[in-house]
Amino acid sequence: MGKEVEVSGVTVTVDATGNDIVQDICFELGRGEVMGVVGESGSGKSTLALALLGYARKGATITGGRVVIDGVDLLALPEGQLRRARGSKVAFVPQDPATALNPSLSLATQLTEGLRLPKREALARVRGLLETVGLPSDDAFLKRHPRQLSGGQQQRVAIAMAIAAGPRLIVLDEPTTGLDVSTQARVLEMVRDLCREHDMAAIYVSHDLAVVADVADYVTVMYGGEVVESGTDRDVLIRAAHPYTRALLAAVPSATHRHRLVPIPGRAPGADESRHGCVFAPRCDYAVAECGTTRPELVPGPSGTSARCLRTDEVARTPRVLPRPHETHVVAAGGQDLFSVSGLNAGYGGRQIIFDVSFGLDRGECLALVGESGSGKTTMSRCLVGLHEEQEGVLTFEGRPIPAPAGERSKETRRGVQYVFQNPYGSLNPHRSVESSLVVPLQHYFGMSAREGRKRVREALERVEIPSRLADRYPAQLSGGQRQRVAIARALVCEPKLLICDEVTSALDVSVQASVVELLRSLLADGLSMVFVTHNLAVVRSIADRVVVLSQGRVVESGATDAVLTAPSHPYTQSLIAATLDVPEAIEPAV
């Protein structure tokens, strides 16, 4: 008996160059099974996800392969039948639910418009779907518009819309990126339950290996548009036999212990680059001369996975390198705080959001602000930098009180306290080149000439591992990780003493995240202080010295990172840690 989903030879090609974005992708899935697809940005994950719906972005074409779902080859269907199959055979959930939900339509309209049922039956089915995904099903909720929902609620509505027509395969493209750990845990549990109860297969695309370890039965690792390793979740994540899979795992932070992260050197190849031999060879520690000329086949290896590597046996026999531990910052007794907050209260439109928050920050120390969405993290960080209007309390910088509004602070204070937004476009003007964006603060704070400014810009870019040749590019011409590092460089050229980072790693690949975290760690070693706002407790364990836990605008727990994350005392902190996922430990090979 065949599998519910059979994918063979799927290839997507760039029209202009004839180069393949994804090449010869093959796998099978049974009913109720979930496959995780992982890899860095540019590996072809999202291109594959769309190809499974018979769709390729403008400038690309699906040039080969079969996608057989419930006995029907989608890629062989005429356009009209293919459109009808999207929904009944296969459905798609995007990373950003805003791209799936129409902001001008009610939830009731959006959830029922694709159902070929009488209105009463359609509404009854929609109510059942909302209950299935853990949302209210009453008339008041159905009358809401997407803007009236939280991010987690929007994502669950998008999933309910995707499964409304009863598809046999659901493709989810990074559906939990940016969600806090509690909301993420609910979404992942819902995906597992839906697949089991509705006999659906699922493709779960993600850069988060801990999420994939939790939700997937099988894992496919992609690099350079190819499958480089595949197998059961346990075999791939615990007994990885491909150097790239191992490199990804070495870049992942742990929620249980603190260690240095290991970024993958170099960069992933672009679709416009010609390739010879193994696509990963230029970045591989195991590469030999043959790897540069011979393209390996995807073959079964000794660890139970299939790997595309000429040296699978040697890799599988080599123990994974244990990460080096990292010590926390030691605060000098009796020292004066660089920055302090006392009795901070803040709100929006007269409604209080932050309640009586107080803490101090030492020089060279990293303080993490953690909590679920809506806990007040971003509001508090905006108060610290002076971008929030409704606030009261005492803020001090270098021992002196400072005004709450940034516009009333001295030029030296504004220079000394810099902010890096979650979205790099919050720091970078899309109409300015990288160099131009970084020269502006140099001219404003230091009166620097254009020539000297260009020199300082290139030094700052090299510091964040951005080649100086990219200085003439615009933000849209950079990858997400590059934009985030440029945003950090823009803050660094101001020579700040305090850096406030608001979810700066939430949407990054594990390797890029590792490079950003290690960059920030080096800045801490140089004496820069940092407030690190995040919902990722594994990153907190990796970089923060102390933690402040926020719930509904109140501090419910604070203390040294290891103490709070190892033995939390407050039930809320305990619930966050219980919902935090981790990649399972490796099983070392028998020698």
pLDDT (tens digit, 9 = 90+) per residue, 538-560?
A: 999 999 999 999 999 999 999 99
More confident of the two residues 478 and 524: 524
**Statement to judge: residues 110 and 252 lie in one domain:** no
Per residue in 10-50, pLDDT (tens digit) is 999 999 889 999 999 999 999 999 999 999 888 899 899 99
Which residue range forms the structural domain that includes residue 142? Answer: 100-166
pLDDT of res. 588 = 52
Domain assignment of residue 29, yes or no: yes
CA distances from 516 to 250, 324, 501 (A): 15, 17, 11
Query: pLDDT of 491-508, one tens digit each?
Result: 999 999 999 999 888 777
Residue 113 shares a structural domain with residue 63: no
* Distance of alpha carbon 552 from alpha carbon 279, whole angstroms: 48
> In this structure, are 242 and 390 located in the same domain?
no
What CATH number did the domain enclosing 196 receive? 3.40.50.300
- Report yes or no on 305 lying in a domain: yes
Whether residues 251 and 309 share a domain: the answer is: yes
Q: How far apart are alpha carbons 139 and 188 in whole angstroms?
A: 26
Position 193 in a domain:
yes
The closest of 562, 530, 561 to 362, measured between CA atoms, is: 530
Amino acid 129 reads: L
Q: What is the DSSP letter of 527?
A: T
Over range 162-187, report the average pLDDT. Answer: 85
Tell me, yes or no, whether 569 lies in a domain: yes
DSSP tag of 461 = H
Report the pLDDT value the prediction gives residue 327, as an integer from 0 to 100.
Answer: 61
In 184-285, beta strands by DSSP E: 201-205, 218-223, 226-232
> Which DSSP symbol is given to 276?
-
SS3 (DSSP) at 11: strand
Residues facing 542 on adjacent strands: none
Mean per-residue pLDDT for 372-383?
A: 89
Q: How far apart are the first and last CA of the chain?
A: 39
Domain-located, residue 227 = yes
Determine the Cα–Cα distance for residues 156 and 135; give it in Å rounded to an integer.
8
Same domain, 155 and 176: no
Identify whether residues 268 and 348 lie together within a single domain.
no
DSSP string, 541-557: HHH-SEEEEEETTEEEE
Contacts of 412 (CB under 8 A, 6+ apart): none
Q: Please give the Cα distance from 49 to 37 (Å, whole number).
A: 9
Task: Give the pLDDT score at 390.
Answer: 93
Report pTM. Answer: 0.86
Residue 385 falls inside a structural domain: yes
Q: Work out the number of other CB atoms within 10 angstroms of the CB of residue 139.
A: 10
Please name the residues in contact with 433: beta carbons below 8 A apart, sequence gap of 6 or more: 471, 472, 473, 474
Q: What is the mean pLDDT of residues 224-249?
A: 94
Mean pLDDT of 144-157: 84
Mean pLDDT for the chain overall: 89
Rounded Cα–Cα distance for residues 167 and 160 (Å): 11
* Average pLDDT score over residue span 170-176: 89
In this predicted structure, the answer to whether residue 134 has a pLDDT above a threshold of 90 is no
Residue 274 has pLDDT above 90, yes or no: no
* Domain count of the fold of the chain: 3
Last residue of a domain, one of 144, 166, 188: 166
| 174 and 238 co-located in one domain | yes
Alpha-carbon torsion angle 74, 76, 78, 84, nearest 10: -10
Q: Is the residue at 236 inside a domain?
A: yes
Q: Pick left, alpha or beta for residue 161 (phi over 0 → left; psi -120 to 50 → alpha; otherwise beta).
A: alpha
- pLDDT band at residue 333 under the 50/70/90 scheme: very low
Q: What is the mean pLDDT of residues 131-144?
A: 89
Residues 399 and 539 in one domain: yes
Q: 400 and 296 in one domain?
A: no
Whether residues 126 and 80 share a domain: the answer is no
Q: Are residues 237 and 254 in the same domain?
A: yes
Distance CA 561, CA 536 (A): 13
Look-up: residue for tokens 């939390």?
568
Asked if residue 384 is part of any domain, the answer here is yes
> Is 109 found in the same domain as 29?
no
